[in-house]
Amino acid sequence: MLYLALSILFSSLIFVIFKLYVKYEVQTIYAIITNYFIACTVGLIYYKAPIDLAVIPQKSWFWGSIALGLLFILIFNLMAATSQKLGVSVASVATKMSLTIPVLFGVFYYKESLGALEIIGIVLALFAVYFTSLKEKKIKAEKWAFALPVLVFIGSGTIDTSIKYFQDAHMPEDEYALFSATVFASAGIFGLFFIGFKSTQQRLKVNFKNLIGGVCLGIPNYFSIYFLLKALQHPTWNSASVFTINNVAIVMFSTLLGILLFSERLTVKNWLGIGLAIFSIILVAFGQQLRTFL
């Protein structure tokens, strides 16, 4: 429970930092790429055993971590495009509703069983994400832009599912830090290629604020993944429960932080979403105990 709470906390801080990027005029793409190298460094520091770089490519999870790094960069750019074309709330809904992909993967691949209360909780969680992220402003965009949230949905779900798969099939617990560091290093390297391509079209400028923004983002970003891996080891919760609670709680907590720190205003539908989020978390987290009690 502690590891899941820490993952939710650090993931929610990421949204706060993105908000501060706008306030302090930090260029997101450059800060993001810096953040990946900072997160990699934190992982290498956190790894207890001696590090032999020649051995890392021999790990069974190595090529998977490279693919995840590429996915991180691709999904980030798709999320940015979705936010710009359709709004931040649409990107948020697409990202967090992707919890259905790892949930279904857990049920069909790992044969995880879900009781009626857990299923109701997961369905309510989807409604909670939707209502919490709703904004009153209507969306106007080209028709092709509405394919973007679908791609974000598929990509985000694939990332979560892959993390669960590698954690279960290819990774001892003492390699969590090294795996996370390798994923972030891969994402950073692919990000450099992306910047290199952009530099052929536009001259790059080193900005100190971008570097600071990357450092501030990199530390919570690393621990959000690390503690999620630890939470997936919970002896009584299956992966469906972990991903549902994690995603819904992040939406709820980051929304509440927006109220406290940035004086954001919520609609009645937003508050309904928060209420559904709390109820869905209770059903998913304590479904077994509630069935016994009832």
Contacts of 154 (CB under 8 A, 6+ apart): 98, 101
Task: State the CB neighbour count (10 A cutoff) for residue 60.
Answer: 11
pLDDT band at 292 (very low <50, low <70, confident <90, very high): low
| Overall average pLDDT of the 144-157 stretch | 83
Tell me, what's the pLDDT at 50? 84
Which range is least confidently modeled, 29-43, 98-112, 130-144, 165-179? 130-144
Q: Which of 86-95, 131-140, 257-266, 275-284 has maximum average pLDDT? A: 275-284
Q: Using alpha carbons, select from 119, 156, 44, 173 the residue that is nearest to residue 284.
A: 119
CA-to-CA distance for 98 and 31, rounded, in angstroms? 25
Q: Quick one: tokens of 280?
A: 């869905």
Q: Quick one: tokens of 136?
A: 């009153």
Write the DSSP assignment of 79-121 as a string of letters: HHHHHHHH-HHHHHHHHHHTTHHHHHHHHHHS-----HHHHHH
Q: Where would I find the beta strands (DSSP E) of 127-257?
A: none
Tell me, what's the pLDDT at 247? 84
| Overall average pLDDT of the 45-64 stretch | 87
Q: What percent of the chain has pLDDT over 90?
A: 21
192-219 pLDDT, tens digit each: 988 887 777 666 666 888 899 999 999 9
CA-to-CA distance for 91 and 261, rounded, in angstroms? 21
Number of separate domains in the chain: 1
pTM of the model: 0.83
Domain that holds residue 101: 2-293
239-254 pLDDT, tens digit each: 888 888 888 888 888 8
| Overall average pLDDT of the 105-133 stretch | 83
Q: Using alpha carbons, select from 183, 93, 176, 75 the residue that is nearest to residue 133.
A: 93
